[in-house]
Amino acid sequence: MSAIVAIVGRPNVGKSTLFNRLIKRREAIVDAVSGVTRDRHYGKSDWNGKEFSLIDTGGYVVGSDDIFEKEIDKQVELAIDEADVIVFVVDVETGLTGMDEDVAQLLRQAKKPIFLAVNKVDNAQRQADAVEFYSLGLGELYNISSINGSGTGELLDALVESLPEKEEKEDDGLPRFAVVGRPNAGKSSFINALIGEERNIVTDIAGTTRDSIDTKYNRFGFEFNLVDTAGIRRKAKVKEDLEFYSVMRSVRAIEHSDVCLLVVDATRGFEGQDLNIFWLAERNKKGIVILVNKWDLVEKETNTTKAFEENIRKQIEPFTDVPIVFISSLTKQRVYKAIETAVEIFNNRSVRIPTHKLNDTMLPIIEHTPPPSIKGKYVKIKFCTQLPTPTPQFAFFANLPQYVKDPYRRFIENKLRKEFDFHGVPIQIYFRKK
């Protein structure tokens, strides 16, 4: 599991620019695949061979200045709670402000590595100006310029030094299912319905949950680990109205799992926050099952289920090949079906297709519908193979891989899904020079 690094600070100091710079190095290579980053505030980065997850808190605050003050305090408290390392960004142009001092005060109490990054330092005069930030009492300063990248190397060197060593979880080879979703969507009730005991305190207050807990589950002939972000009452001081909260809570559980069960509250519909968590799972290449909970509370007409499902699929395009199960944790309706589906998705995720079978199936399809020619050049795909990765990834070897565009990539993906049943599993496709 990779460590979590949170970037905090008041508005307009350049948090997002720094975030983009830190993930771009990798994103440029990794995410060129789909070309779409849905959640602009969460990404993976690596430096000196160490990988970490990066969260930019800045994207989650909207409101007037006085709301800002309160929200930023909440965010910083949350980051202190959840992240392994914190980067505190300040701005040399505006100099030290009261809000910076507030944030520093919270950070000084944290028992976590804190890195103070003074942004917009791009000349000697500003280097001299940066010195005033020593008065925050957070130790070493890192003078950086997010825009041109100067100083970020030194910051990253120090940052990865302080990352906790990976704790190796003993792997019992069982599938790991994470139950994720917005606060109050019914995650705890779902788990209780499954386990059949009130292990989780279920209340109507959003966010009674704190750490992810693992439960070994063995019933109905299935055996797996439940990675549960539901369970322990969370600290009272962090208020619950942060969208940021559910993303932050979900990151660890998702990274830790094989399949994510995304619990959605049917009475509220599929909202932005559900979508954020969905993309978080997709970008971590996890299997996904969407569980629409509290379905017993919805007024039904003939097409209610169909309409609800279509709405979700529209929002999660282009990755729409995902099972959606309508459940009620209260009445235990289709709870077993949910688990059955998750097991099926887990199996799909670990499918290995023999190379000859893959070529025998895919090459005739490609021959029948080749990639469109570009500037009179024709792309010829001669061979394909599944890569030896834990999740389904495929390489197609072509004479001109750079001419294969997204629509064709999606066409190939859809054919692979149809032929080999990758229902509920993100797959990655690379076109390479043969």
The domains of the chain, with CATH numbers, are 4-162 (3.40.50.300), 176-350 (3.40.50.300), 355-433 (3.30.300.20)
Is residue 293 annotated as involved in ligand binding? yes
pLDDT for residue 267 = 92
Is residue 121 annotated as involved in ligand binding? yes
Is residue 181 annotated as involved in ligand binding? yes
Both tokens assigned to 334: 């289709």
Is residue 182 annotated as involved in ligand binding? yes
DSSP E strand stretches across 109-230: 114-119, 141-143, 176-181, 213-219, 222-228
Is residue 56 annotated as involved in ligand binding? yes
Is residue 57 annotated as involved in ligand binding? yes
Is residue 399 annotated as involved in ligand binding? no
Is residue 15 annotated as involved in ligand binding? yes
Is residue 113 annotated as involved in ligand binding? no
- What confidence tens digit (pLDDT) does each residue in 372-406 have? 988 888 999 999 999 998 889 999 999 999 889 88
State the DSSP code for 235. P
pLDDT for residue 87 = 94
Which residues lie across from 393 on neighbouring strands?
Answer: 428
Is residue 13 annotated as involved in ligand binding? yes
pLDDT for residue 14 = 84
Is residue 184 annotated as involved in ligand binding? yes
pLDDT for residue 229 = 66
Confidence band of 79 (pLDDT split at 50, 70, 90) = confident
Confidence band of 232 (pLDDT split at 50, 70, 90) = very low
Closest CA to 105 of 8, 11, 6, 239: 8
Is residue 185 annotated as involved in ligand binding? yes
Is residue 230 annotated as involved in ligand binding? yes
Is residue 311 annotated as involved in ligand binding? no
Is residue 35 annotated as involved in ligand binding? no
Is residue 183 annotated as involved in ligand binding? yes
Is residue 200 annotated as involved in ligand binding? no
Q: What is the mean pLDDT of residues 33-49?
A: 60
Q: Are 117 and 90 in contact (CB under 8 A)?
A: yes
Model confidence at 345: pLDDT above 70: yes
- The average confidence (pLDDT) of the chain is 81
What percentage of the chain reaches a pLDDT higher than 70?
81
